[in-house]
Structure 1
Amino acid sequence: MIDLLNIKGLDLDHIQAKYCDSSFNEKVCNQPKEGCVEIFGDVEIGEDFDFESMKTVEAIYGSLIINGTSLEDFSFLESLMYISQLEQGKHPLIVENNLSLINMTFPKLKKIQGQRTWESIVIFAIFNNNNEALSERPRFCTSFKSSIKLMDEKLYIDGKRCSK
């Protein structure tokens, strides 16, 4: 799967697909662990999470949920390049209740993808109830959006669409 995401010039904002059961090993996992490069399934990060287990992760095929931490930034996701949610109706990135968060950019994130339905566009990234500076300063929203080429209607901060 990561080979598809790494194709230069391929610019997909959604993938209409399902993945087959993977053979899990030390690099392809169904939950975070040290040495893992690809994770199939949702990753939920809270205050007691082992942040070291995410250092080598390059791709998540599911949702990344960061909720209720004291993180100031996402530097622990130093290798993460892709978040690709393959289930309909689920948001690929949800960041909520992180009151110390002052930087919402990811070191290497290139693309967030979700599964679009014919009826609607899926919101790809949601930031709610984090440090109030993030919603008060449009530059945070703009820099995050432009770093991964995300359109306005796919990024929401505190219930409001990110605008130019």
Structure 2
Amino acid sequence: MKILKGRLEIVHTTFKNLNFLAGLQTVEASEFELEYCKTLLKPLHLSQYFEVPVSYFENAFGVDISGNPGLEELGLTNLTSISGIFLVTMNPKLKRLKLPNLKNAQLHSPYTMTPAVSVSFNSPQFCLTLQEAKILLNYRKINSFVFFSKVCKPGNPTKKICVAPKVGCENLVGDLKIGPKFDFKKVKSLKFIYGSLIVKDTNLTDFKVFENLLEVVQMNSTKLAIDVQGNKNFQNATISKLQRVYTDHMIGVLFKNNHNSLKFDFKSCISIRNAVNGPDNQFSTSFDGLSCEDMEKLKKPNGGK
């Protein structure tokens, strides 16, 4: 089998791998099927404050590989394209997806409050390759996702993919820690951080050194995505090209004990918050304990707003 139109569901099995499906190249949910799902669920009028029960996924087309206690790898080595939903959850021995040829993911949830992608509650050692992360985290095409994971450290770092900042690197896998004596030439080309951006006790006044930074992705729910503290000259938090900050932390972006004027930088706060998992994440960004709305109400010492 090379093409499956509909739903691939593998749940509560004893399989160690799925290599019997190694020939599978495409799992496709047609536009008709996706519209059917939306029509089916629309009359439910579920509140945004409640999770949609699992039973409502039964008519969602795509991939669901969940609750397989012995599953160690997927083994779908020829899978290149998926559409619909993609759920890989509660497989306690699963350490890798092993989808080396996945190139296209047109992922959509049948209802706005259910995730289109969920990769969660697998082995504590589970990680996504950089290629898998980039495809599954394509936020321009995906309405919602849940990840309890990390990005695997590349076995063979290259000039553009690194595990420590260096000149020419565009994809950093790991935390970027910037202190007083940091060489900022190493981050001028940086576009993606798969870890935390930590800036502490520097003489920086702004983020202009990150002239190409597009995304900060922190999948560890116990870690801040952006942590900026103790920079006494830091007055402007804008990152000019920033498009997305992915975080599962309740407050994913923290600015604390920097220059006093930063708490009046309402525009930077809004700009960053809009990048954090979408514009409706009201409490994701904190400037000395203040929300963006709190900052907007503050009056500067000279009487201006």
Give the TM-score range, shorter chain.
Answer: 0.7 to 0.9
Q: Which has the larger radius of gyration?
A: 2
For normalisation by structure 1, the TM-score amounts to 0.84
Q: CA deviation at 1:141?
A: 2.4
| Cα deviation digits, residues 44-91 of structure 1 (max 9, x gap) | 111200001000110111110011111111011011111001223001
SS at match of 2:147: coil
Task: Check whether the contact 1:38–1:58 (CA below 8 A) recurs between aligned residues.
Answer: yes
Task: Show CA shifts across 1:79-130 (max 9, x none).
Answer: 111100122300110011111112111021111112x3xxxx5311000001
Q: Which amino acid aligns with 1:18?
A: K
**2:160 maps to 1:160:** no
**Residue 269 of structure 2: SS of its match in structure 1?**
helix
- Listed as ranges, the matches of 1:44-59 within 5 Å are 44-59=177-192
Q: 1:102 maps to what in 2?
A: 235
Pair 1:127 & 2:127 matched? no
What is the correspondence of 1:69-84 to structure 2 with a 5 Å cutoff?
69-84=202-217
CA-to-aligned-CA distance 1:28-56 (integer Å, 9 cap, x gap): 10010000010111111112000010001
Q: Tell me which moved more, 34-43 or 152-161.
A: 152-161
**Alignment map for 1:25-44 (pairs within 5 Å):** 25-44=158-177
- Label 1:57 to 1:134 Cα distance change in 2 as closer, same or farther (>3 A): same
Residue 112 in structure 1 maps to residue 280 in structure 2: no
Displacement of 1:134 after TM fit? 1.2
Contact 1:12 1:113 in 2 (8 A): no
Kept in 1: contact 2:236–2:265 (CA 8 A): no
Q: Distance in 1 between matches of 2:271 and 2:139?
A: 24
In the superposition, relative to structure 1, how do residues 3 and 156 fare at CA in structure 2: closer, same or farther (>3 Å)?
A: same
Is residue 191–residue 215 contact of structure 2 (8 Å, CA) maintained in 1? yes
- State the identity as a percent: 30
Does the 8 Å contact 1:71/1:98 carry over to 2? yes
Query: Which residue of 269, 273, 289 maps to 1:141?
Result: 269
Q: 1:87 to 1:140 in 2, by over 3 A?
A: closer
Unmatched runs of 5 consecutive residues or more in structure 2: 1-129, 297-305
2:117 counterpart residue number: none
Instruction: For CA contacts below 8 A with separation 6 or more, give which structure has more relative contact order.
Output: 1
Partners of 1:130 and 1:20 lie apart in 2 by: 33
In 2, the alpha carbon distance for the partners of 1:8 and 1:98 equals: 33
CA distance in structure 2 between the partners assigned to 1:102 and 1:81 by the alignment: 21
2:112 aligned partner:
none
Distance 1:125 1:7, change over 3 A: closer
Alpha carbons 1:60, 1:84 under 8 Å: kept: yes
SS in 2 for 1:153: coil
What is the one-letter code of the residue matched to 1:81?
A: L
- How many residues are aligned here? 159
